[in-house]
Amino acid sequence: MNEKEKQQYIFGYIFLLANKLQILGDQLTGEITLKQWFLLNMIRNMENKFPNFNDIADVMGTSRQNVSKSISVLEKKGMVTLHPSPKDQRSIYVELTEESHKYFQNKEDTGNLFLDQIFSGIDEKEIEMTMSVLMQMMKNAEDKLESKNQENQD
């Protein structure tokens, strides 16, 4: 394989892996989807413990509308509560509920076992290298998006 074919292979493999991980993750997460779990986990790990939809969208790299749809489902499941901002009634703040905290506690061992299985046979050096490559790919993608946004504004 030449370098371009290898790049194409890796690019395609990322999509295949993402699909498989979503299927496995949906089986693992139970009452919520893997994407919903990821959203809750991102909120849980944000510095701002009462983020609004825009804050969450920025961290997730998605639109406010996508966050709003997902948050609506999670609110119905009792995983988050919504609070209007005292300063701006149009801004809604998201708070994780006790239910979501219990969910993370109950799933922690299962999630760690899942990660152990997924990373089986991969040593620390390979993990470090993979992290580095993925971080660079993410930076490149973000730079490309930013330059496209600049072009659209000009």
Owner of token pair 């990660």 = 115
- Mean pLDDT (whole number) for 93-112: 93
What's the token pair of residue 133? 């490559």
* pLDDT band at residue 129 using 50, 70 and 90 as cut-offs: very high
pLDDT higher than threshold 90 for residue 151: no
DSSP 12-31: HHHHHHHHHHHHHHHHHHTT
Q: Is the pLDDT of residue 88 over 80?
A: no
For residue 92, give the amino acid letter.
Answer: I
Give the percent of the chain with pLDDT over 90: 78
- Inform me whether the pLDDT recorded for 154 exceeds 80: no
Q: Dihedral sign, CA of 31, 116, 61, 94?
A: positive
- CB of 47 closer than 8 Å to CB of 9: no
pTM: 0.81
Residues, the chain, total? 154
Name the class of domain 3-119: mainly alpha
